[in-house]
């Protein structure tokens, strides 16, 4: 039974956590910077030659749904309250304060929509392609460019999807509802159609929304099941199950890289992804870098279109980068670097946990919305019974044997001289070109 001091501490922690959850509730970053579908229609009607008419005036005509100044002051007061009640040095209190500070920066960023300041604050929150990978001197852009090269090799084009049948959003909703029921339990996750989202799908809380206008392949749905369902919704529900640390159910930008990186890793571990999907994820790092360096919306759109992407896909990647910023370039939304950044950092964490003899740290990635730096403090409180283990875990995180072996082998061969290995096998392959009959896998 917990001592009176421990119970008092946990009660304070929950009260402060609940206040943070409540304060952040009206903040919806993507909703605050989204573009209307009419912007796309006007852009294509002009032949893709004119910059979208979305600047500071547009965002002023679409004000935030809350008073950001009052909310900022409320976060300041909560920060002071965390220090008063938990002290400056409390480990969980520091995580709370870091999260509070993030939301204050978010509010400042949203107040600067359509200006140069927006991009500066986005870089503070999400980072930049010029940042070095944690523990390495390679930049994120270096990694992104290499991945783009790999996923655009001729072999990738030969790996045509096993099925090109397009499913409409209603069919996709029925399929994903059944898959969510199987994983989470009947009725736990609500899959619905939406007219309000720009992307194909979006997860929020215990719901998954599909864009009513989108078409999907079976491969797309496999990705959505594990990316949005197992990771984003799963960690939300695990966070909601926390008895005291309730803030683990909500995510400020500090947790975005780990979330998106784990989602991409899960696509890979389940073999749900495919080269074109992986290329799109890698392209986002290059796109953010180009826009940060001054490329405008039309230039970025043309770069991807001229490379061979569809006009729709080219517009979409450019829109993701420029939303909230300035369409003339320089000030952009850098969140899209998080997918590659988080993937690399999660892989590094899992490998390090294995070699440190602490594989039990790995499932803690699913405790809720967290960063890698949070894990030691959370593990300590897990051992004390203040944090509960994650309920929803993908199978390879429940039984770590396969994951251990996979990362063990991949770590061991990582030091090989890949250039020499490729040269050896290139002699075996010779100059043979793939025949038309072998360019796509046979359909079963």
Total of domains in the chain: 1
Q: How far apart are CA 337 and CA 105, in angstroms?
A: 18
What is the per-residue pLDDT for 440? 40
Strand order in the sheet with 207-211: 190-194, 207-211, 201-204
- Does residue 248 belong to any structural domain of this protein? yes
36, part of any domain: yes
CA distance linking residue 148 with residue 411, whole number of Å: 22
102 within a domain of the structure (yes/no) = yes
How many whole angstroms from its chain centre is CA 395? 21
Residue 205 inside a domain? The answer is no
Domain membership flag for residue 41: yes
pLDDT in tens, the chain (444 residues): 468 899 999 999 999 999 999 999 999 999 999 999 899 999 999 999 999 999 999 999 999 999 999 999 999 999 999 999 999 999 999 999 999 999 999 999 999 999 999 999 999 999 999 999 888 889 999 999 989 888 888 888 777 655 566 899 999 999 999 999 999 999 999 999 998 877 889 998 899 999 998 899 999 999 999 999 999 999 999 999 999 999 999 999 999 999 999 999 999 999 999 988 999 999 999 999 999 999 999 999 999 999 989 999 999 999 999 999 999 999 999 999 999 999 999 999 999 999 999 999 999 999 999 999 999 999 999 999 999 999 999 999 999 999 999 888 887 777 777 778 778 888 888 755 554 444 443 333
pLDDT at 433: 56
Residue owning tokens 């390090």: 352
pTM above 0.85, yes or no: yes
In-domain check, residue 429: no
Burial label for 329, CB within 10 Å (0-12, 13-18, 19+), is: buried
Q: Per the domain annotation, does 123 fall within a domain? A: yes
Q: Which long-range contacts (CB under 8 A, 24 or more apart) does 169-177 make?
A: 169/193, 169/210, 169/211, 169/212, 169/213, 169/214, 169/215, 169/216, 171/216, 172/210, 172/214, 172/216, 172/220, 172/221, 172/224, 173/210, 175/221, 176/208, 176/210, 176/221, 176/224, 176/225, 176/229
Domain containing residue 134:
4-165+217-413
Q: In the prediction, which pLDDT does 421 show?
A: 78
- Report yes or no on 418 lying in a domain: no
């Amino acid at each position: 039974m917990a001592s009176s001091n421990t119970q008092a501490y946990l009660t304070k922690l929950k009260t402060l956590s609940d206040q943070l959850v409540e304060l952040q509730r009206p903040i919806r970053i993507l909703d605050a910077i989204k573009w209307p579908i009419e912007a796309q229609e006007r852009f294509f009607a002009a032949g893709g030659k004119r910059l979208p008419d979305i600047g500071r005036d547009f965002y002023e005509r679409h004000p935030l749904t809350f008073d950001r100044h009052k909310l900022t002051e409320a976060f300041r007061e909560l920060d002071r309250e965390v220090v008063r009640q938990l002290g400056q040095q409390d480990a969980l209190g520091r995580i709370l304060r870091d999260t509070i500070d993030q939301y204050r920066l978010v509010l400042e960023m949203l107040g600067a929509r359509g200006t140069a300041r927006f991009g500066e604050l986005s870089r503070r929150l999400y980072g930049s392609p010029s940042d070095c990978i944690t523990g390495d001197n390679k930049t994120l852009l270096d990694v992104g460019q290499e991945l783009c090269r790999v996923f655009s090799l001729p072999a990738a084009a030969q790996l045509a999807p096993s099925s090109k049948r397009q499913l409409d959003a209603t069919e996709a909703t029925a399929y994903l509802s059944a898959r969510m029921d199987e994983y989470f339990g009947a009725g736990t996750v609500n899959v619905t159609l939406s007219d309000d989202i720009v992307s194909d799908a979006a997860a929020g809380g215990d719901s998954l929304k599909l864009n009513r206008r989108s078409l999907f392949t079976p491969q797309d749905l496999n990705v959505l099941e594990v990316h949005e369902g197992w990771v984003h919704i799963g960690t939300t529900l695990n966070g909601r199950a926390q008895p005291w640390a309730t803030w683990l159910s909500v995510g400020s930008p500090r947790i975005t890289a780990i979330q998106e990186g784990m989602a991409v890793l899960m696509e890979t571990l389940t073999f749900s992804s495919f080269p074109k999907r992986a290329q799109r994820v890698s392209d986002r790092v290059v796109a953010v870098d180009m826009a940060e360096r001054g490329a405008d919306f039309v230039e970025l759109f043309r770069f991807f279109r001229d490379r061979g992407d569809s006009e729709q896909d080219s517009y979409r990647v450019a829109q993701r980068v420029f939303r909230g910023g300035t369409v003339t370039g320089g000030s952009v939304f850098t969140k899209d670097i998080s997918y590659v950044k988080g993937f690399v950092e999660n892989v590094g964490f899992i490998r390090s946990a294995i070699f440190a003899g602490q594989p039990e740290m790995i499932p803690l990635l699913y405790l809720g919305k967290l960063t890698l730096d949070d894990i030691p403090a959370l593990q300590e409180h897990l051992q004390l019974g203040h944090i509960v283990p994650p309920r929803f875990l993908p199978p390879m995180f429940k039984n770590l044997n396969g994951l251990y072996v996979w990362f063990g082998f991949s770590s061991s061969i990582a030091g090989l001289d890949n250039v020499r290995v490729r040269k050896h096998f290139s002699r075996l392959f010779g100059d043979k070109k793939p025949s038309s009959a072998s360019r796509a896998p046979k359909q079963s």
